[in-house]
Structures are given as structure tokens and as C-alpha cells.
Structure 1
Amino acid sequence: MNKWLSKGVLACLLLLAQLCFTYCVAQEPQSQGEGNEPAAERRGPHIAQLSISGPIGPATTDYLIRTSDKARKGGARLFIVNMDTPGGLDAATRDIIQHILASDIPYVTYVTPAGARAASAGTYILYASHVAAMTPSTTLGAATPVQIGGMPGQQEPPAKAPEMSEDKAGEEGEQNGEPKKRERDPRSAMERKVVNDSVAYIRGLAHRNGRNADWAEKAVRDAATLTAREARAENVVDIVADNQQQLLQQLADRDVILPSGKQKISGTIAELPVVSYEPDWRNELLSLITNPQVAYILLLIGIYGLIFEGYSPGAIVPGVVGIICLLLAFYALQVLPINYAGLALIIVGALLIAAELFVPSFGALGIGGVVALVIGSVMLIDSDVPGMRISKTMIGSIAAISGLALLGFLYAVGRSLRKPIVAANQAMVGRTAVVSVVEPELLVKIDGEIWRARCDNLLTEGQLVKVTAEQGLLLQVVPE
């Protein structure tokens, strides 16, 4: 049993290592653009170039805050944040915005390259930045909080009825003998609270930096979007530049609002070297384990590892691996928007599947466990943010593997029940053994076990023999 458990845990570790390697290769920084210098070679005043690519989460916040502090100590005079994001988590976005607003060095958020977007959370960060810039053929907007959309499959709120004029409403009310009624917002109180809070937040950011607050409200309430040229015309962004050099030229002598008051960006800013700060190993690790897919796998490995250790005390490997994976999973889940009911269902499902191996329920526990595991997996991540959900393909794969393993176990149990019952003291009869030692005492080996034996014929080491009788710990054998 322990041998199979160790092999299973080793396979899980290899799978996890392959996943980590694949993710790190996919996230490997691209070669730096012309004119950029490696971060290790920075000396004196420079422009720090950071990047936000993909969904905004805890790893993004950690990277932006730690790296900007490092760059500030190294002599950074300006931060340029290249951004391409579909959105992100509210808590992580607010942490980034608070850091930007408290910075005594200007932040320039630049939506680039062509085809990039600053959707949802990216729009808030763009409004919070001291200078907002975009590349042609980029977009921003659609800043409505996605959590208010409800669970998948839930019906959309009914469309709001067309509004009528006060006079007409008053006439109808008088005709029916009822007082005039005001049209009610079909959204729930919680939805209105979330939207109104987001509107107030983004309008405050717009007023701080002198940008279009009315359009910002439309982006939240109506999910409005704009292209780069339209955003510049609507006073949503400050600069539209084809490349970084054009951006730096347009930044010269521009006024920005810092905590200390209004300041002017140096007219010679374009002459400073641009230093690219890429994520380090710590940020790569944090980004890896806070990925919902990886956190989900770590959770399952941790649960099953501890279950196997509990049923096979002394195996050690499953327990050690399970504890490590479970701690990493809990760290990731505490910074992700999870549904605790989903987490509880996953744990219960794993326990039921494990219990099927030791309790003769003929599949009832196992089937219930697979159902609970699938439902819990679907519910686990409580967010509609792109990139912050567990893929249905992974959930289906886990369910299929669990189901096939359960069917295989039930098939093995069925076969064992159909086999003829053999007395325990005759289990070796009919087995084939290998002669291990001839003198001074005949010893034979069966499946790695050494047995004392007796034979009326002359045997040689390595010869195959067949067991004809079993008397306690002594076997009667004959040559095959």
C-alpha cells in the first residue's frame, strides 16, 4: 500500500513541478526594447519602467509596490507603468491606487502596445495616475463591478420600464385614485451600493487629476468604453503617443499633482535612461501560487496527502507533501475571493472519495464525493474577473480522473468478490517460487518474501518451483 501511495505522491509532485515550469516559461520576461538598460546596471537618476500585464491580483500589487520602492532608492525620477489588463480584484486595485496617490514621484500609466486595453480595474488605475497615456488602437472603460452580475445562470434583473413625464404620471395616478409613484430601480440594494461606491471612488480620482468625471461615471454605470483618440478628446487621458520616446517628449514640463502639491516634470526627462524592472523570483512564485488553477491543485494534493498519511501511518512522504501543499493553498486562498461553502464541499468530497476505499458502500460514498467535489470546485472562486476563475476544463478533468479512479476501484472490488475463497493457511498453494538458498536450508522467494521450504528432489539456486502444500511457515515444493 505504501509503495503505491509513494508512487502516487511522486507523480503529483512531478505534475506540479511541470506546471510550475510551464507557467514560469510562459511568464518569462521578453527582451527589453531598444534604449532600455538592465535593472542591475542602473546608476543615478533614471526612469523606472514597470509593467502590468494580465489580471490584477495580489502578485501585481506586491510587484508594483516592492519594485517601485527599490527603484526609488536607486534614483528613479519617474515611473512609467506599461499596462494591458482585462481587470482584476478590487482589493488589489485599491492597494495599487493608494500607493500611487501617496507617491512623491510621478506615475505615468501607459496603455500599450497597440491592441492593449485598460478595462475595469485598469480604468481606475489610469484615472489615479498622475499622467494617463495611451497608444493608438488601445481602449479603456467597462469599469462596472462584475461581482454584481450574480452567479452564472442567474436571471438578469428585469429591464427598467421606460420613464414617463411627471405630468403624465400624475394624470394616471389621479385617474386611478392613487398617489403618483416614483419608478423604482430594479437592481438590488447591494448592487446599488457597490455601483454607487465605485462611482464615488472613480469621480474622486477624476477630480484629483482634472479628468472627465462624468464619463468615468458612465464607465461604471453603463460599462462605457473609449478608444485612445476618443479618450483624449473627452479629457479622459492626457497623452496619446505612438511610442515611448514620443511619450517622454510630451511629458516634459507637464504639471502633476503630488502629495506635496503641484509640481512640474523636468523638461530634460527624455534624456534620462529608461531602466526596465522585471518581476523577481519572489513575485514569480507569488504569482504562481495565487493563480486560481494552481491554488486549486495545491488544495487537492494537500487534502489527499493528509488523508493517505492518516490511513498509512509512517509513510511520511504523503504527509509532508500534503502539509506543504495545504499551507501554500491556504495562503493563496486567503488572498483570493473564495466561497467558503465551495471550499467545504471540496474537502467533504475528497473525504468521501477516500472513505470509499475503506468502507464497503459499493460506490455510494465515492459518487457523492465526486458530486460534492465538482460542485465545490465550481463555487470555489467567487469572482467573474477574467483570469481569476478555475477553468471548466480543469474541473472536468479532475472530475473525470476521480470518477475513473472510483470505477477502477469498484471493478477491482468486484473481481475480488468473484474469486474463490481461499483459506489463509493455504494462500501459497499453487504459487510459483524461485529457489534462493539450497544449503544449509532450502529457502524460496515469493513476491519478495523468503519462505522455508522442503522438496524431495535436488534443486539448484534460481530454479523455479511450485508450491503444493503449506504447513505453517513451511512450504512443500516440487520443480516446475
Structure 2
Amino acid sequence: MRLAARLAAAALAAVALFALVAPAGAQEEPGSTVPSIELSGEISPATASWIGTALSDAEDEDAPLVIIRLDTPGGLDSSMREIVKDILAAPMPVVVYVYPSGARAGSAGVFITQAGDVAAMAPETNIGSASPITSSGDDIGGTLGRKITNDASAYVRALATTHGRNPDLAERMVREATNVSASEALDAGLIDLIAPDQPALLSDLDGFEVKGPKRTTLDTTGYSVSERDMPFRFDLLQILVNPNIAYLLLLVGMLGIALEAAAPGTIIPGALGGTALVLGLIGTLQLPVAAIGIVLLVAAVALFIAEAHLPTGGFLGIAGIAALIAGGLLLFDPGDDGPTVSPWVAVPVAIVLGGGLLFVGGRVLRARRQGFRTGEDELLGSVVRVRTEIDPVGQVFAEGALWRARASGGEAIPVGSEVRIEEIDGLTLVVAPTDGGGERRS
């Protein structure tokens, strides 16, 4: 019960932390401003969620148009498509602006740029290299590679055509990994504008005729830019949805709980493990999880606990480490280009953490057994206090530590009761309710 309470407290603390860093929701007064939404870093479930939230806020404010400041090397195909859908579904024109100078619209950024009702870039920026690859950076060969490439080519071509841009160059960025500068993109008709900064962009947009489904003539007279940077909540989620980070947090969480279960009363491993587990789940549940990976990780924890209570010379522990490695490598469904845990993370982390758990757990158990061997005569007959209800098994506090205990008569003994140690059965104390005599040892 105490372990469950500590884990619940750790979980509540982690959730509270995540809630505290959530955006307060306060926005500038609508009516004379154009929201400028930050979209930087890898395209992930976190950035997709942020763009959806920001566009919804802009709609609630009746914004005349929205600017998305883009700087990305690329990211997940599924998250990119979610962002594209949100841009296309937005009721107001959306300007995708590759900004500031030195920024890029790589890979998934090409699709997002072409989805914009207006595509703009700052000087000294570039766009392209949208060929599909795996999340680990490897090429996708064979029939699967052709299927994914053809699908992506048709998608970007449709986006460019809809907005009156150059579909051929957009398609070459997918098939040939073509990459061009802002001026080359403008000359080729892949983008609509080049502007050095946001005030200049807003000025250039005045009178601009938007092509495509949201056909209109923009009027930006009297408007100013209101920057909306990604809040810390989404920055934190961006870290947590990294598959390597998610795996590491899950591993630390599960092993911390396993150590607490193997050596009750240590407290810190259980508390830290519970917090890490909650944070790991927050990130993991945003990604395509494979059931087999979860099963293997849970099996690994069970093997470690079994090794702690039923020493097998390390056999179960080694099997647990192997299950940790396999569980990490199979934790996420890679799909077409989905996330995967790097083998360079899964293997050494599992060996170090798993081996460390076995070492620490073994030392704790050996110390306890030694304590029993050397102090058995002193413990027998001593009076101790019940810490968790004995029904039929619970815990008592003896010699400065919590110990497993069972009642000699099989009766239930409530928390706080004093009991006498009558027998020592391995690592279990056999106790009976006290009649008031005996030497107190707790």
C-alpha cells in the first residue's frame, strides 16, 4: 500500500508539473494584430498539437490572416500531414514564412510551405530535400520506398498546384532531394514572396491576391504582428516525444519501481521511478506504440523482480536485460517513417540500468540476509510494530528496516499493532500478537 501511495503521489506531482507549465491562454487584444506563430525544430506530435491550438486561437480572435514562422529540418510524416490539414482547414489565409535569415524548410517543411495560402521566405534561407527516409536517417528501399516516394510526390504536387505554384520543382524535391535558395525558389515560382522581416512581409501582403480555395485580396493596412512563440508546455512535450527520451524515461520508471518492489522501504527509487514513468507515458502515448514492445518491457521488470527474490545466479537478470533491449527496439511501430529507438541508445542503456539494478538489488538483499544470520538470536522474541496490515502477509519494522511478515496463527493484524517475532523463515518474520511482554526492538 505504501508503494502504491508513493507512486500515486509521484504521478500526481508529474501531472501537476505538466499542468503548471501549460500556457495561461492570455492573448493580445484582437482586431489590429496578425498572429505570427512559431514553428521551429523537428516536426512532431508536439509541434502539430501547438499549431492546431494556435490556429484555433486565431480563429476565435477573428484574425484576418495568420503567419507561421517556419524553421525546420523536417520530422514525422504523420505530424506534417496533421499540420497541413490544419492549415488547409483554417478559415483565414495562412502565410507560411521561412524565417529568420539562415532558417530552412527541409523535408516536411516543403509540404507545410506549399500548404500555405501564401508561401514566403526570408533572404538567405533555403527549401527542399524532401525525400522520404526512416526516422534513423536511412534510405527506404524496394517496393515500400517506391510506394512512399510516389505518395509523397503526389501529395506535394497537389499542394503546389492548388496554390498556383511550381509542382515540378516541388516534386523534384521529393524524388531527387533538390534544395534551392529563397531567390531560386521565387524565380522558379515555388514561393510567392521574399521579405527580410515580418513588418516588410506584412507590407508586401497588402493587396496580395491569394490563389486557391481561400481566394481573396489581402488588406493588411493598419495591422501589426503579434508573435506567438511555442509555450513551455509544448517545448517540454517536444522533448518527451523524442522516442529515445520516452524509452529512457519508461526504463528509469519501471526499474525504479522494480527496485522499490525488490527492496521495500527504500522510497527514493519508487518516487523517482513513478515520476519518470508518468513523464515517459506522456511522451509515449503521443507516438505509435507497438504492444509487443510494452509487453517485453513489463516482462523485463518481472524478470528483475523474480531475480531479486529467487536468485538464479543471474540467469533471470540477463533475460531481463535482453527483454529490455528487445522492448526498446520494438517499442514503437515505425510504419512508413515512424519513430524508432536507436540501437545505440537501447543496448547500452538497458545494460547499464539493468545491470545496475541487479547489482544494487543484490547488495540490498545480501545485506538483509547477513543481518538475519548475524542477528537472528537477537530478533527472536523481540517486539516490533506492524507497518502494513498483516493479512495474511504484511510488513513490520525491525532493526531499522521494513521486513516481510506473516502471522503464525493466520489471523489479520492491523497497522500499529505490536507483535513478537517467533520464527524466521528465510526473509520472512513469523510473528504473533504480543501480550505486552518481550524486549522492544523498533
1:121 aligns with 2:108: yes
1:82–1:111 CA contact under 8 A, matched in 2: yes
Cα distance in 1, alignment partners of residues 194 and 372 from structure 2: 82
Secondary structure in structure 1 of the residue aligned to 2:27 = helix
Relative to structure 1, is the Cα distance of residues 419 and 113 closer, same or farther in structure 2, using a 3 angstrom cutoff?
A: same
Kindly provide the CA deviation profile for residues 279-315 of structure 1, in whole angstroms up to 9, marking residues without a partner as x. Answer: 4576456545434355335533654577578779999
2:170 alignment counterpart: 216
1:60 aligns with 2:17: no
Relative to structure 1, is the Cα distance of residues 307 and 403 closer, same or farther in structure 2, using a 3 angstrom cutoff?
A: closer
Residue among 233, 248, 252 paired with 2:187: 233
2:46–2:241 CA contact under 8 A, matched in 1: yes
1:300 alignment counterpart: 251
2:93 alignment counterpart: 106
2:14–2:278 CA contact under 8 A, matched in 1: no
| Bigger Cα displacement from structure 2, 101-110 vs 191-200 | 101-110
CA RMSD of aligned residues (A): 4.9
TM-score, structure 1 length as denominator? 0.67
TM-score, structure 2 length as denominator? 0.72
Q: Report the count of equivalent residues.
A: 395
| Bigger Cα displacement from structure 2, 213-222 vs 310-319 | 310-319
2:121–2:193 CA contact under 8 A, matched in 1: yes
Map 1:327-406 onto structure 2 (within 5 A).
Answer: 329-330=280-281, 332-382=283-333, 392=344, 396-397=348-349, 399-406=351-358
Cα distance in 2, alignment partners of residues 7 and 205 from structure 1: 53
1:87–1:119 CA contact under 8 A, matched in 2: yes
Kindly provide the CA deviation profile for residues 241-262 of structure 1, in whole angstroms up to 9, marking residues without a partner as x. Answer: 22112222222222113535x2
Segments of 5+ residues of structure 1 without an aligned counterpart are 29-37, 158-186, 432-444, 453-471
Cα distance in 1, alignment partners of residues 263 and 148 from structure 2: 50
Residue type matched to 1:139 in 2?
N
Structure 1 position 220, deviation (Å): 0.9
Cα distance in 2, alignment partners of residues 352 and 415 from structure 1: 21
Cα distance in 1, alignment partners of residues 50 and 208 from structure 2: 27
Relative to structure 1, is the Cα distance of residues 202 and 411 closer, same or farther in structure 2, using a 3 angstrom cutoff?
A: same
Structure 1 position 203, deviation (Å): 0.6
Cα distance in 2, alignment partners of residues 318 and 407 from structure 1: 14
1:302–1:323 CA contact under 8 A, matched in 2: yes
Secondary structure in structure 1 of the residue aligned to 2:309 = coil
Structure 1 position 86, deviation (Å): 1.4
Cα distance in 2, alignment partners of residues 142 and 382 from structure 1: 25
| Bigger Cα displacement from structure 2, 41-50 vs 193-202 | 41-50
- Radius of gyration: which is bigger? 1
2:63 alignment counterpart: 76
Map 1:382-461 onto structure 2 (within 5 A).
Answer: 382=333, 392=344, 396-397=348-349, 399-411=351-363, 421=373, 424-427=376-379, 447=400
Relative to structure 1, is the Cα distance of residues 377 and 49 closer, same or farther in structure 2, using a 3 angstrom cutoff?
A: same
Kindly provide the CA deviation profile for residues 407-432 of structure 1, in whole angstroms up to 9, marking residues without a partner as x. Answer: 23345556777899568445579x9x
1:257 aligns with 2:211: yes
Residue among 139, 142, 147 paired with 1:188: 142
Relative to structure 1, is the Cα distance of residues 388 and 117 closer, same or farther in structure 2, using a 3 angstrom cutoff?
A: farther
Percent identical: 32
Relative to structure 1, is the Cα distance of residues 329 and 217 closer, same or farther in structure 2, using a 3 angstrom cutoff?
A: same
Cα distance in 2, alignment partners of residues 55 and 122 from structure 1: 9
Structure 1 position 118, deviation (Å): 0.9
Structure 1 position 73, deviation (Å): 2.4
Segments of 5+ residues of structure 2 without an aligned counterpart are 383-397, 403-417, 421-435
